[in-house]
Amino acid sequence: MSNRKNYVGLDVDLAQGDGITPIAKVVLDAQLFGLIADNETCKGWPGGNIQELYDKVAKAWEPYGNLPSQLPCDLREKHTRLYGEAIISAKENGWDPDQDLENDR
């Protein structure tokens, strides 16, 4: 199996300067809900495993309407920490969220 079909890992994904990609969000949310360990980056995972994780994450979000504001306090705090760290990492690696907004216009 070619590595090009496997996920690069959360740390590499955030280091590529593209911000928090959809797959990175799945990994972060899986960490949030305890579906994977907090230090699991999913490096080398094939697409099918990422899809299975996505499905589990979607189910975990259902009671909260996909809204961080609806999470219980402990999960809301963990969400803030996980995403805060990811945003810092992405910015340190060249992501410019303002540029993304410009590209959307």
Residues in the chain: 105
Distance CA 8, CA 37 (A): 17
Domain layout of the chain by residue ranges? 3-104
At residue 96, the pLDDT reads 86
* Per-residue model confidence (pLDDT) at position 83: 97
How far is the first Cα of the chain from the last one, in angstroms, to the nearest whole number? 39
pLDDT for res 13: 94
pLDDT in tens, the chain (105 residues): 444 689 999 999 999 988 899 999 999 999 999 999 999 999 999 999 999 999 999 999 999 999 999 999 999 999 999 999 999 999 999 998 887 656 555
